[in-house]
Amino acid sequence: MGWREKEAAKLAGKKVLMVGAGGIGCELLKNIVLAGFKDIHVIDLDTIDVSNLNRQFLFRREHVGKSKAEVATAAGLRMAPDAEVKIIYDHDSIFSEKFNYEFFKQFTFVLNALDNKAARNHVNRMCMATRVPLIDGGTAGYLGQVYTMIRGVTECYECDPKPDNKKTFPGCTIRNTPSEHIHCTVWSKHVFNQLFGELDIDDDVSPDMEDEEANEKKSAAEGEEMMQSDEEKKDEGEKEKNDEGEEEKEKPSNTRAMAEESGYDAEKIFNKLFVDDIHYLLKMANLWKERRPPVPMPFGDLPTENPGTSVSTAAQIDPLQRVWSPAENGEEFKNAVESLRKRKAASSDGILTWDKDDEDGMRFVAACANIRAVIFGIQPKSLFEIKSMAGNIIPAIATTNAIIAGIMTVDALKIVAGEEKMLKSSIIVAKPNHRGMIVLSQPPEKPNASCTTCSSKREVTVRVNVEKMTVGTLRDKVLMEALKVEEPDVMEATTSKVIVSSEGGETDGLMGDVLSLHGLSMGGRLIVEDFAGDEPEMRVVVLQAAAFDEFTFEIVSDEKPEMKEEDKMSEEMGDMVTGKKRKTLDENDLLPFKKARLEEEDVPA
Ligand SMILES: Nc1ncnc2c1ncn2[C@@H]1O[C@H](COP(=O)(O)OP(=O)(O)OP(=O)(O)O)[C@@H](O)[C@H]1O
Ligand SMILES: [Zn+2]
């Protein structure tokens, strides 16, 4: 037997689960088949869309509308070098009850090629509960990441609470001092909501008279009267008296109230946003000491050219890519307000929801953002560009998917070879570092001792029917009778909501509720405390069994937190982590790791 055959033989008995057969999944399936894995299970809930074909290369035009899992499996089988290869598939969601504890338990490792946090969390919980290694890959444009997670050895997907990847900007930048076009685009989406959508106090678009920068400097600037007071927050356009009966400065009128009063008169709204409110900003003189002050733009006097460009050349370009002049933006604004006003009036709840693919809404935001940009001396942009910024669209890049799938495959081979110590967390960064590298890696982080999913404590896995079993039955039959918990205090781990209190009282009303009412489903976790008993804290992992009645349950496993092999290894790895980090990666390399958890669910496909 040559080395190839020997290597391949090691992979023969290993069962592999791949969840997701999209951009990463197609690359990955090809890799693992060609690497020699012979027993593969593919799960994907989706069908093939024509927009997938440019990068999901296992799919062809004739497959559009068919199951991704099915077509990928057939393609994988065609690639298999010998007939022993078995690939099976499920056209189903990984949340499905049939993918239960026993199902996960059979795999050597699981490959996540998913695009959303909810499914990743779920697979993580199932893999942690069953102690099956999980290799998770993700990409967003040119960025990518691979985290391989082994219970007790490395951090799990939920050890480090993920930051919300939605980009946010400080309120005062959006409302008072935009310096980039994106600030104007975000502001315009807020204007849309103020005028046509659901009112959200965080989306205020009027000048922020509380701006610290303006006021700090203001009080230092001596003698001038303060621009705002608490009453001023109350609003709206008229002069108010304060306690001493002094007259206070005027403040910007409320945008929604103003629009409604005017019957959604586009020109009046325009002048309020782009003249009156700008005058308020100009009054905060301290903001403009080191910045170019904004220049108000009345509707009746809109230039037909953008600063620095001429309409005649611009007009030759594709209309989508062309940047509208202020006069055109004014026209677009007016037309959009007109049709949005009608649609709002015609809608049953009087609320419109912004969507980048809604023509009126998109044109409104583009026009609004461009006018504001010109006012603040920022280059306006084309509808096309603004659409991709406003919709947070990040194009999928085939090369990034291929690199990430390659790294995942290498990690899979390390697991099969028993070389867990060689595992690395890897990321692809946007710009090469000082050594010209874009793929950076470091040993994985250690588990977080307080993680609700993977920290070391007694862990009981129990099968119940969450749609039928009540909180009261869980407490009495499962926890007290079967698990000998004396005085249970029970918290749902994700929400931290207390559903059973040993003191009674506050939670008595919940005893008749079925468990699903409190967020429990397959893979859900409860933290159970028992200060009266021997085991002060344990975790109960809940598995769903739809066939069970209210009282039926099954204890699948009950593990005590003794020092396990993995934990010992984790200690060794910890040394390695701290030792190696400094040697291989400098501070600049490490920075991206802290931010790198990419959540693509925020990115519409
Ligand atoms: N709960 C789920 N169960 C099964 N499959 C899922 C689930 N959620 C998402 N998926 C599948 O995961 C796949 C993710 O692939 P998708 O192509 O969107 O992202 P990707 O692999 O990161 O690549 P790209 O960035 O190129 O789009 C999709 O095919 C989707 O159907
Ligand atoms: Zn964890």
Where do the structural domains in the chain lie, given as residue ranges?
Answer: 3-164+396-442, 171-219+250-390, 458-559
Torsion of CA 95, 101, 102, 106, to 10 degrees: 80
246 CA from centroid of ligand 2 (Å):
59
128 CA from centroid of ligand 1 (Å):
21
Can you name the CATH fold of 458-559?
3.10.290
Q: What is the pLDDT of residue 455?
A: 87
Task: Tell me which CATH code domain 3-164+396-442 carries.
Answer: 3.40.50.720
Beta-carbon count within 10 A of 91 CB: 18
Instruction: Say yes or no: CB of residue 601 within 6 Å of ligand 1.
Output: no
Determine the atom of ligand 1 nearest the C-alpha atom of 140: 25
pLDDT mean across residues, the chain: 84
362 CA from centroid of ligand 1 (Å):
27
Is 589 assigned to a binding site? no
Is 150 assigned to a binding site? no
Q: How far apart are CA 527 and CA 188, in angstroms?
A: 44
- Look up residue 222 and give its two tokens: 């001596």
Is 125 assigned to a binding site? no
Ligand nearest to the CA of 115: 1
Structure ipTM: 0.96
User: In Å, what is the CA distance from 289 to each residue of 221, 282, 286, 474?
Assistant: 12, 11, 5, 65
Calculate what percentage of the chain has a pLDDT beyond 90: 59
User: In Å, what is the CA distance from 588 to each residue of 167, 296, 403?
Assistant: 21, 42, 22
Q: What is the pLDDT of residue 178?
A: 94
Q: What is the pLDDT of residue 162?
A: 60
Residue indicated by tokens 């969601």: 93
Q: What is the pLDDT of residue 594?
A: 38
Q: What is the pLDDT of residue 117?
A: 85
158 CA from centroid of ligand 2 (Å):
5
Is 156 assigned to a binding site? yes
Widest CA span in the chain: 97
Q: In the chain, which residues have pLDDT < 50?
A: 164, 218-247, 311-314, 571-572, 574-605
Model pTM? 0.66
Instruction: Say yes or no: CB of residue 208 within 6 Å of ligand 1.
Output: no
From 47, 50, 115, 397, mutation site for ligand 1 pocket: most ligand atoms within 8 A of C-beta: 115
Among protein residues, the one whose CA lies closest to atom 15 of ligand 1:
22
Ligand nearest to the CA of 449: 2
Ligand nearest to the CA of 600: 1
Give the active site residues: 172
Instruction: Say yes or no: CB of residue 145 within 6 Å of ligand 1.
Output: no
Q: What is the pLDDT of residue 532?
A: 82
Can you name the CATH fold of 171-219+250-390?
Arc Repressor Mutant, subunit A (1.10.10)
